[in-house]
Structure 1
Amino acid sequence: MKDLFVHDLTKQENQVITGFFAVAQKQRRTTRDGAPYLALLVSDRTGQIECRIWETASSVADFEQGDVVKLQAQVCRYQEKLQLKVEKVRKAKPEEYDLGDFVPTTSRNVEDLWAELNQYVSSFTNPHLHALLRAFLDDPQIAEALRSAPAAKTMHHAWIGGLLEHIVSLLGVASDMALRYPEINRDLLLTGVVLHDIGKLHELRWGTEFDYTIEGHLVGHIAIGLRMVEQKISALPDFPSPLRILVEHLILSHHGKYEFGSPRLPMVPEAVMLHYLDDLDAKMQTLRSEFLRAEANGRAPGQMTEWVRAMERPLLNTAQYLAEQQSRPAPEEADALPAQDGTGNLFLL
């Protein structure tokens, strides 16, 4: 874990520091006199700061945007903003840094999440659906990606390990709900839970920043996921055609509405449940994130958050609100109610 973060630099003004930072932007520029320099924007999980490399800028080319670099720089101030005047810089080696220092990461243990996912798959009674999921989870490239992929670029579970965390959370809720509704095929529903966002492994790219791939922009995770499922099923002998159609429908319809990018509306019980549980898990995680953000920004406990774009409303943390109300001293009864004399007239005590 790195020991110097962007938010620590305010205490380091006019000092020379050495640390690891992610390169958010890298631009070659020239001064008015034509001298070359590099303008960088570096970041970590606590913020961003601008950097300037004034000398030998033309020879500094061993790192690119998205890389982690180790730099030595003087912390200075230019036009009332802190800035780093870089003296030395090089691309960091993978073993020198932890990705969690630069982007948010799941608070859960990834291996525990992976074991829980596999336990649910082991509980399947349908051999065809069990074989389909094993084809995904036993694929080394998919398994490695699924352990680290975010579930989104900026929305719910947008952190390293977020997709796996989202899947495991949904598996627990879906497994419980399947017991309450006899029309639900549990194995089919849980298959939809595991595979509904599997296309995000190719839709998104992640490292020191999250973004969409070209395939993600042009095709999207629903179509990518459908292709991935078709490829795995084609390698499974005697996979039933009706079951294939249902699995594909779960992927195609999980966004629920055409205006939300769903190619099909949910038309079977498992698809209806998958859509609503997926939406519920996403919204509950949005609530958690917004409450943490409000607290970090100094908003008083028990107060409404700012407008939350993803939910199109402000939010209230009921636990904090009730705790704040209970902590207030109860008014004295004499102060709460006006007194009366025997005639019914009000008078002050």
Structure 2
Amino acid sequence: MATVPVTIEELKRQTGSEYSGGSVHAQIDEVATRRTKDQKTYLEILLRDGTASFPLRVWSDHPSRGFCSELRNGDFVEVQGDFIVTAAFGLEVRNWNVRFLTAAEKDELLTGPPEVQKKQSVDYSAIESFIASIRDPRLRELSLLFLREFEDRLRRAAGARRYHHARRGGLVEHIAQMMRACDALAAIYTALNRDLLLTGILFHDSGKLWENCFPKESFIMPHDFRAELVGHVSMGVELVNRLWHRLKEGAEFSSWNVLSPDSDLVRLHLLHLVASHHGEKQFGSPVEPKTPEAMTLHLIDNLDAKLEMMSSNYQLGKRLGPEVIERIRPLPANLVAALPAFSEEA
């Protein structure tokens, strides 16, 4: 009887210390030959989908060893068998078999689970709504120009390579949540320039459209030559300048000369938000936050990233005890289970 495939993340979450049947659809990130302590060779195949990854170990006497030795990076496969999570090796599988995915299965895998599609669709719509609410026409039109030109890349980009929102579409989730936080804070701290802050949030990680962008038909994030040389912060600054100069070529820009504050001052403040969003020079920002909006963006960015890391580790992290989960970097310590919300029900 066929097993309905689940994501790797869901498989890790569902699987316990006892073997249970399961199936996963994934892409091969890497095929490597390893050696045991007694120098016997085996294959280690790193499998990846849009949620997580895990290594499949193929011993020399496995019936699928011949098939697996022909697999290449980028192939799409199904692995079906009995899965278990161990403290030493994490997710493992025994009594397994493997096959190539059909074209239809591959397309479905790349599209992502329905719940992820729905969430990212809602988040992208939220981004569009927040941009539409920007009152300053210069910042609003700059943001709309960015979405028109880079929507496809934005929907594929991750928030990071490893630490947070490290999945296809993760950057959309990160930006949307930061904008929600901005909207709430701007209602409380009314001196904040909401228009500038929303635009800064949209552009703060725009360099990751190259640094952390997945190809259209792959879960394997390449290392972009330009991003390696320049970094996403500098690329974001350059992108803002390029799009701003595109706006200046339009007929509408001259009518904004009467607006206050001055257009070039608006541009410079936006550049400062992008350049300073890492907060400190030692963490990659060429300048520290020097305005209320820059400080707020940095703190919102850090908060959303840290809470995402904690949420993921609560679900998938190694438990040291019933209420304690082992630390993952860059979090500063082990996690302790959060206090549940108050409920009047017994």
Q: Name the TM-score, length of structure 1 as normaliser.
A: 0.71
- What's the CA shift for 1:306? 1.6
SS state of the match for residue 332, structure 2? coil
- What's the CA shift for 1:97? 4.3
- What's the CA shift for 1:24? 2.5
Structure with greater Cα Rg: 1
Structure 1 residue 193 corresponds to structure 2 residue 194: no
Q: Which has the higher contact order (CA 8 A, sep 6+)?
A: 2
- What's the CA shift for 1:221? 0.9
Query: Does the CA contact (< 8 Å) of 2:26 and 2:109 recur in 1?
Result: no
Q: Alignment identity in percent?
A: 26
Q: For residue 316 of structure 1, what is the aligned residue in structure 2?
A: 336
SS state of the match for residue 48, structure 1? strand
Assess, with a 3 A threshold, how the Cα gap between structure 1 residues 152 and 108 changes in structure 2: closer, same or farther: farther
Structure 1 residue 278 corresponds to structure 2 residue 288: no
Assess, with a 3 A threshold, how the Cα gap between structure 1 residues 201 and 169 changes in structure 2: closer, same or farther: same
- What's the CA shift for 1:263? 0.6
Q: Distance in 1 between matches of 2:68 and 2:327?
A: 43
Query: Does the CA contact (< 8 Å) of 1:202 and 1:216 recur in 2?
Result: yes
SS state of the match for residue 55, structure 2? strand
Tell me which amino acid in the other structure corresponds to 2:29.
A
Structure 1 residue 260 corresponds to structure 2 residue 288: no
Picking from 219, 222, 226, the partner of 2:237 is 226
38-47 or 262-271, which deviates more = 38-47
Q: Distance in 1 between matches of 2:225 and 2:245?
A: 26
Assess, with a 3 A threshold, how the Cα gap between structure 1 residues 99 and 231 changes in structure 2: closer, same or farther: farther
Q: Distance in 2 between matches of 1:18 and 1:176?
A: 42
**1:1-349 correspondence runs (5 A):** 3-4=4-5, 20-26=25-31, 39=43, 41-44=45-48, 45=52, 47-51=54-58, 64-69=72-77, 92-93=102-103, 96-99=106-109, 106=116, 109-139=119-149, 142-206=150-214, 207-210=218-221, 212-237=223-248, 238=253, 240-294=263-317, 297=319, 299-300=321-322, 303-320=323-340
SS state of the match for residue 236, structure 1? helix
Give ranges in structure 1 of 5+ residues lacking alignment: 30-36, 76-80, 328-349
Query: Does the CA contact (< 8 Å) of 2:237 and 2:271 recur in 1?
Result: yes
Give ranges in structure 2 of 5+ residues lacking alignment: 35-40, 84-91, 257-262
SS state of the match for residue 336, structure 2? coil
Q: Deviations over 1:260-309 (max 9, x none)?
A: 11111111121111111111111122222222224x75842xx2322232
| Aligned residues between the structures | 299
Q: Distance in 2 between matches of 1:57 and 1:11?
A: 23
Q: Distance in 2 between matches of 1:282 and 1:123?
A: 25
- What's the CA shift for 1:82? 6.0
Q: Name the TM-score, length of structure 2 as normaliser.
A: 0.71
